[in-house]
Structure 1
Amino acid sequence: MEYLLTYDVDTTTPAGQRRLRRVAKICEGYGIRVQKSVFEVTCTAAQLPTLKQKLIDAIDHTVDDIRLYRLTQGTLQTVERLGQAKLAPHHGDHIL
């Protein structure tokens, strides 16, 4: 399964800054960072509920926003990149 995951975490407080680091760390375990708050994620159907629950547990639901856009299989390999963006190696081995 392929997803585009974006987040906006309120960092106006020290607690918000900690949440931001927590959310980023969770995302790094499931995907590849392609922009500061954007990850391209490949996971199995079994992994998705765990990813979602970790994110739910990490955020403040009154001020933070996470969005998961499910993509058609293979979409991440067809991304049109402009500027210095590089194709992320989604289907190779990842070191976590």
Structure 2
Amino acid sequence: MMVLVTYDVNTQDAEGRRRLRQVAKACVNVGQRVQNSVFECKLDPLQFAQLKKHIDGIIDSNKDSVRYYRLGNNWTNRVEHVGVKETYNPEGTLII
């Protein structure tokens, strides 16, 4: 299933900036950054549960927020892109 992960981490202190880097790294490991704090992640249910648990262990729920949008398996009909950044196909060939 495709999951959109968005987050807003309070970066007013060094600890917040550390949390921001850790959340971003957790998302980079499983998805594609599509905007600064927005990731598209193609995950199975177990991977999704693991990601949520990992991020829950990083954030300070009194200062930060994370939102998960489950777009499901039919996500291609739910995502539209307009603008300068090229879109990508997470099911396509990955060239490194």
User: For 2:64 and 2:3, how far apart are their aligned partners in 1?
Assistant: 19
Moved over 3 A (4+): 92-95
CA positional deviation for 1:85: 2.4
User: For 1:70 and 1:88, how far apart are their aligned partners in 2?
Assistant: 18
Gap runs ≥5 in structure 1: none
Match of 2:33 in 1: 33
**Aligned-CA RMSD value:** 1.8
State, as a whole percentage, how many aligned pairs show the same letter.
Answer: 41
User: For 1:37 and 1:76, how far apart are their aligned partners in 2?
Assistant: 21
Question: TM (normalized to structure 1)?
Answer: 0.88
Question: TM (normalized to structure 2)?
Answer: 0.88
State yes or no: 1:14 paired with 2:17: no
Opposite residue 22 of structure 2, the aligned amino acid is R
User: For 1:32 and 1:67, how far apart are their aligned partners in 2?
Assistant: 16
Match of 1:54 in 2: 54
Gap runs ≥5 in structure 2: none
* CA separation of 1:77 and 1:26: change in aligned 2, threshold 3 A: farther
User: For 1:91 and 1:31, how far apart are their aligned partners in 2?
Assistant: 12
